[in-house]
Structure 1
Amino acid sequence: MLAAALAVQAAALLAVSWQVAVDGPLLGLDRWVRHGVLASRHRLSNSLLDHLGALLSDLGGSVPAVPILLGGGALAAWRARRAGMRRWWFPLPAAVATAGLIPLLVVPAKAWFHRPGPLGLPLTPEQWGWYPSGHTATAGIAYGVAALLLGRTVGARSRRRLHAGAGLLAAGVGLGLVWSDYHWALDVVASWCLAGLLLPALALPVAHLMPATRPVTPKLPAPPEHR
């Protein structure tokens, strides 16, 4: 199941990247989605939705995503140490390395594809481009890794909730960017695929170096001896 999901995401990322590089017909989907979103915004004319879209978009910025990633790593290390894990320190360098990995993945791709944004304005020399979406990738990877690290220090139910919360945040950031007309839809889809491919690869060493914490069953007091 996981292998099939990874294959689909890899194929989608390659296909979208190829179409962006050659300005292919698939980019018509971007224009169709943008037209539909703008029409919906005009029809609804709801300032609350617009503010929500902008707020969700901001959650994909380096602030607050990177501080939450680093804070999650620190909290995971503290909890791992309290639980007596041998490699309790691992979440700290893992979080720092992830924070450095995100721009290494996104910035060169933006500079290479050099794609203009939805407004159609030409890129200035200091701009990298819109593809893939940096905010979406930052949200997916930063919140995802924080959830992976913290998830090794809690029970299975809490772990699932952390993973689901990270996924919802990444989805919300992408949708907010499209709703706010900050990004093309395919910019967001590519970053979702990128995060979806990276997180399972990072989950393997995390699971190996941090065996999941199991809830401790309290010992019942022994019955008193009868004399």
Structure 2
Amino acid sequence: MSACGLCALLLLLGTWQVLVEGALVRRDEELGAAVRRMAPPEMPAEALSDLGNLEVALPLLAVAMTLSLLRPGGRRWWPVACYGAAVVLMVPLVLGLKVWTDRAGPSGGAGFYPSGHAATTAAVLGGALLLLSGGLSRIARRAARALVVILVVGNGLGLVWRGYHWPLDVLAGWCLSVLLLCAAFAAARHRGPGDRLPRTDRIRPHDGRMPADPDPPRTRRTPSAGS
């Protein structure tokens, strides 16, 4: 099973369990209480949870989009549009799921499933990585992937440590962002409307031979004196 398929399955399972208040929800709340008991000091936990704030995520995404557009090679606008659309589409999807499931948070209230902060962090950092990884060396790509994973997981832990979300809320936010990034990645692999090669790029390279004339002109025969 692919990562996208697994995330879709987990999102469906988690949403169903939250709606019916199933056994997975009770286990999730027990896990959340255990994780909070192991929380680090407030300052680092709060800093990690803040990675999903729009004040942090949107400037980061804007920088990644700008760098992608400025990279040599041209025709980068379509991937930028695809990943930007994925982040924009994430907002109504998260809000719709929050209203539909109406799950209470660790500190009370309602509308905590899925975590918007977790989804924002994963979508923005994942989208930035996909936009910029093409211009990095193999070692740099591996380091960037590791950094993204550390920040995304750290953000999720920070949200649970501070009592802002249950672990299942965070997992659902991650799964939703992965599904959106998979869709954006598939769309970005195709050229966008109007994103075509210039005419000069479509000319086949000349191999040094004269092109064959498909219809050579007929040589007119000069009439002889006896004709």
- TM-score, normalization by structure 1: 0.76
Change in CA separation of 1:35 and 1:139 when aligned onto 2, cut-off 3 Å: same
Shift of 1:145: 0.5
Please report how far the alpha carbon of residue 181 of structure 1 lies from its aligned counterpart in structure 2 after TM superposition. 0.8
Gaps (5+ residues) in structure 1?
124-128, 211-227
Aligned length: 192
Contact 2:82 2:185 survives alignment (8 Å): no
Unaligned runs of 5+ in 2: 193-227
SS at match of 1:112: helix
Q: Is the 8 A contact 2:83 2:184 kept in 1?
A: no
The reply on whether 1:113 has 2:105 as its aligned counterpart is no
Partners of 1:17 and 1:119 in 2: CA distance: 20
Evaluate the alpha carbon distance shift between residue 73 and residue 172 of structure 1 in structure 2; reply closer, same or farther with a 3 A threshold. Answer: same
RMSD value, Cα = 2.1
Which residue does the alignment assign to 1:141?
A: 123
- Choose which of 167, 170, 173 in structure 1 pairs with 2:155: 173
Alignment CA distance shift 1:155-1:203 (3 Å) = farther
Provide the identity percentage. Answer: 39
Q: State the Cα distance separating 1:168 from its structure 2 match.
A: 2.1
Residue in structure 2 matched with residue 78 of structure 1 by the alignment: 70
Q: Work out the CA distance in 1 between the residues paired with 2:140 and 2:38.
A: 37
Shift of 1:171: 1.2
Distance in 2 between residues matched to 1:22 and 1:148, nearest whole Å: 36
Paired with 1:96 and 1:12, the residues of 2 have a C-alpha distance of 24
Who is 2:49 aligned against? 57
Aligned to 1:182: 164
Secondary structure at 1:183 match in 2: coil
Offset at 1:117?
0.8
Counterpart Cα distance in 1 of 2:76 and 2:167: 40
- Which moves more between the two structures, 132-141 or 28-37? 28-37
Cα separation, 1, equivalents of 2:152 and 2:8: 18
Q: Quick one: which amino acid aligns to residue 85 of structure 2?
A: A
In the alignment, which residue of structure 1 is the partner of 2:29? 31
Q: CA deviation at 1:92?
A: 4.1
Contact persistence 1:147–1:163 (CA under 8 A): yes
Question: What residue identity is the alignment partner of 1:84?
Answer: G
What's the CA shift for 1:185? Answer: 0.8
